Structure 1
Amino acid sequence: MRLLGDVKYNENRTCWKEHNISRRIAYRIILIGFTMIFGPLVVFNIQKTKYLQMLTAIFRLLAFILMICIALKMLVTDGVRGHPAVVNVYDIPSLFGACVYSFMCHHSLPSLLAPIKHKSIVKQILSYDYTLICSLYIVLAITGIFAFEYVEDLYTLNFLPYNATTDSLFSTFLIGIEYFLSLFPVLTLSTSYPLIAITLKNNLQTLFLDMSQYNSYSILTRALCPFLSILLPFCITYFTENLSILVAITGSYAGVGIQYVIPVCLVYSSRVTCSELLGSGIVNQFQSPFQSNIWLVMVLVWSVLAVFLVSINLFS
């Protein structure tokens, strides 16, 4: 049992007393419904996602601004409720899973670089972009840890509309904002889930099927990859109820491989290939300031350290 805002949380606590449905059962019912609604989209291919990504970006930015404003309002009206330790060395291992997840902002790099016509300003644009990302992270974290006595693993759960009253239009508006923040992970997941699942399906097809002979495969074989792409995530989320452990495992094991190890291998391989094809006489005026292989080694060392510390935190 743990605190959820000012209300004690228990996975066996009843959601709807008249139906005697616990939170665990309600969660699994909603999960099954979500998978049945969005799972079939995996069989399709989504080529143009411009407006879908714009809508997701607007939702995320709006949620960030609202959470910061509400936390600031709580600090002004209620004062400081959270009293975090200045330094806690023992919690560093648990930090690494979240740190790996924070690097998910790098997955937007291709979509940021491709539309830029004049590549000479790439460094300036990226510096502005990551400065904005870092600023939002810091402001959101600082306001949250001091505004709330207990900060949930999923930060939006701190804004659940408990003891809400609708005695005025302004109160109704605030309740609407709180419901929006509570449903924010669902809104973003509903847009990103089909894209990620389709990408996983395409990767599985490329790995295990000969795409030149794809039409000759049976319907059962062609349906196997879409089914597998939604089966494993469904099983993990169905039997996992501790969000911190889920973040640590997916962020520090799968995340390290996807975000650190594989990119390092791709960068090293591409550099060797370009050197063999083009030679060393051509100078790229847009070359990265991190072109030394020392940076690749540092990234690998960081990934090993992250996995080591999170493993200590999980099994200690």
Structure 2
Amino acid sequence: MAGGGPDIGSYSPLTGFVFIFNLIVGAGALTIPHAFAQVGLIYGSIVLAVLAATSYVTATFMIEAIAGVNALKKRSRELDDGAIMTANASAGDDDDAEDNDADDDDRMQTEFMPLMVPAQADDKLEKRLHVKSSGMLFKFDLSKKMELAQMAQTLFSRNGNIAFYACVIVYLYGDLAIYAVAVPKSMREILCPRPAPGVARWQCSDQLDSSQLYKLFVVAFGLLLGPFAFGHVSKTRTLQFITTVVRHVSFGLMILLALIGIARGQGRSVDDVLSYERPENITTFFGVCIYSFMCHHSIPGFIAPITDKSKVGFVMACAFLAVLCVYFVLSYSATFRFQPDEIDDVYTLNFKNYSIRAVAYFLSLFPVCTLSANFPVITITLRENLRTLAHSLAGSSDEDPLHSHEHDEEQSGGILAFVVRHMYALIAIVPPLVVAFFTEDVSMLVGFTGAYAGLGIQWVVPTCLVYCLRRRLASERARALLGEDKRDLLKLSNANPFASPFAHVAWLYLIFACALASTAIITIAHFK
């Protein structure tokens, strides 16, 4: 997934706060003012605050899961080292038998079989744990970067991993479709401005109308950035810094310009704002909020370099609170400055006619620059996730399901060889461009992506991870204590210092229930 975290050594908690804040405030923030205004001030404020709190809760689940998986992996390495020492000490007795046992141990799998149900304990693993039970101690740590996919591989079964990758892939497809719409739409609005807010289609020249020009930009966007899907692209630190500065300058300018307009009497009255209520639009706003608070897939890479790990929880809480404040200021300023039907689904386009043309062009080009820079990275991430999912679906086969065909076709050359060799890249790049070709509704795409795939990554996956982790730790501690004096329970079952403050199992079931109810309500609303 995109945004695995900065590779810059270590940094202070304050720097970690800045990185996490920048991670959350991304492209989704550009769609919040439109969706917020469509719901109304009161409903929008409640939903935004509740979803921010829920996202924070699941972010703490991610932190707990990272520390727990690191502890499990360290414990596994300790057991492996002990097994190797034991095997070496008794190698002279029966070399062949010991070698076979060691090979079997190396192949052992300790993950849960179904998505959320622990597997039956392997006999040989139990023997190893029993030998080491007197020294059972989990070493919880956040220093080692643990990607979300690695955590899923450790805690989920094969079916759970397939579900996980399917969720990730749908989210990445939605991400790319949003980018493939927002960039051409911004370019179209710069070259051929919309004559009035409510106009859906207008003439740009004798040969082209607005819809045709938009489709030309979609094609150009695909031709310019699509080839990166076939190679390897890395975001440099300089590019990250530049896009971060541009992003915050843009948000600051939009808030400032909206406040200036309000001060000049160009805004709406308080009574007008408070009287506008459209609860039927909450489903779309829900998806937009989920998308706008999305950071969970990149949390591992951003917290690992923080020097003082004891402050990670505080840093995360401050980052979410700061983002919520920014979203409130951005949404309130837009709502009091513009009528709901005047706010564009890409908020920067509301300032394309600003009197200072340099400012107008800067804000209009902001999505073009930042989203175009991220598009190749996300495309390559999607390509590799598609490859991994195909490998998982192939079952026990060690070979990529397309690999056997690739080798033969590469030798023959031609178009068919190119298609087969770059199958995953083509599957990654073509569908988002097709979606962008037939719709330019960014708000709809953000709402759909957030409400389904985003909900899975932000709510369901972290909750499943911490649920499986807690059961896994409890299971291994119970096995380690088998035959031990129960008075040693406290000594052996050391607590996770990075555990979520929402430790009661009721929080897990509450998140699951909310996710299920939200999905059902949103689906019903979409198909009415």
User: Superposition pairs for residues 1-316 of structure 1, below 5 Å?
Assistant: 7-15=196-204, 17=205, 19-47=206-234, 49-81=236-268, 83-86=272-275, 87-149=277-339, 150-161=342-353, 164=355, 174-209=356-391, 217-218=406-407, 219=410, 220=417, 221-277=420-476, 281-316=493-528
Letter in 2 for 1:238: F
Give 1:66 shift.
0.8
For the 8 Å contact 2:235–2:377, the answer to whether it is kept is: no
Letter in 2 for 1:265: C
For the 8 Å contact 1:248–1:310, the answer to whether it is kept is: no
**CA deviation string 1:194-250 (max 9, x = no partner):** 121111111111122489757874354441001101111111111123333222222
Q: For 1:41 and 1:203, how far apart are their aligned partners in 2?
A: 16
Q: For 2:314 and 2:363, how far apart are their aligned partners in 1?
A: 33
**Higher-RCO chain (CA-CA 8 Å, sequence separation at least 6):** 2
**CA deviation string 1:28-87 (max 9, x = no partner):** 111111111111111223456544333332222111111111111111123423632355
For the 8 Å contact 1:68–1:139, the answer to whether it is kept is: yes
Give 1:178 shift.
1.4
How many residue pairs were aligned? Answer: 301
Q: For 2:240 and 2:475, how far apart are their aligned partners in 1?
A: 38
For the 8 Å contact 1:201–1:225, the answer to whether it is kept is: yes
Q: More displaced, 151-160 or 260-269? A: 260-269
Q: For 2:365 and 2:514, how far apart are their aligned partners in 1?
A: 34
Letter in 2 for 1:129: A
Give 1:158 shift.
1.1
**CA deviation string 1:255-296 (max 9, x = no partner):** 222322233223322333333445671212222212333222
Q: For 1:96 and 1:134, how far apart are their aligned partners in 2?
A: 15
For the 8 Å contact 1:11–1:22, the answer to whether it is kept is: no
- Structure 1 residues 106, 161: closer, same or farther in 2, change over 3 A? farther
Q: For 1:273 and 1:50, how far apart are their aligned partners in 2?
A: 38
Give 1:141 shift.
0.5
Q: More displaced, 244-253 or 43-52? A: 43-52
For the 8 Å contact 2:297–2:457, the answer to whether it is kept is: no
Letter in 1 for 2:242: L
Give 1:88 shift.
4.1
Q: For 2:322 and 2:313, how far apart are their aligned partners in 1?
A: 14
| Structure 2 unmatched ranges of 5 or more | 1-192, 411-416, 479-491
Q: More displaced, 27-36 or 257-266? A: 257-266
Q: What TM-score do you get using the length of structure 1 for normalisation?
A: 0.84
Q: For 2:232 and 2:475, how far apart are their aligned partners in 1?
A: 36
- Structure 1 residues 63, 107: closer, same or farther in 2, change over 3 A? farther
| Structure 1 unmatched ranges of 5 or more | 165-173
Q: For 2:460 and 2:515, how far apart are their aligned partners in 1?
A: 8
For the 8 Å contact 1:160–1:178, the answer to whether it is kept is: yes
Q: For 1:212 and 1:187, how far apart are their aligned partners in 2?
A: 41
- Structure 1 residues 48, 277: closer, same or farther in 2, change over 3 A? farther
Residue in 2 aligned with 1:168?
Answer: none
- Structure 1 residues 126, 258: closer, same or farther in 2, change over 3 A? closer
Q: For 2:194 and 2:227, how far apart are their aligned partners in 1?
A: 36
- Structure 1 residues 80, 47: closer, same or farther in 2, change over 3 A? closer
Q: What TM-score do you get using the length of structure 2 for normalisation?
A: 0.52
Give 1:120 shift.
0.5
For the 8 Å contact 1:245–1:314, the answer to whether it is kept is: no
Q: For 2:195 and 2:337, how far apart are their aligned partners in 1?
A: 13
Q: For 2:511 and 2:239, how far apart are their aligned partners in 1?
A: 32
For the 8 Å contact 2:287–2:450, the answer to whether it is kept is: yes
- Structure 1 residues 283, 222: closer, same or farther in 2, change over 3 A? farther
Larger Rg: 2
Q: How well do the aligned residues superpose, as a CA RMSD in angstroms?
A: 2.7
3-state DSSP class of the match of 1:266? helix
Q: For 1:212 and 1:47, how far apart are their aligned partners in 2?
A: 28
Q: For 2:194 and 2:335, how far apart are their aligned partners in 1?
A: 13
Percent identical? 34
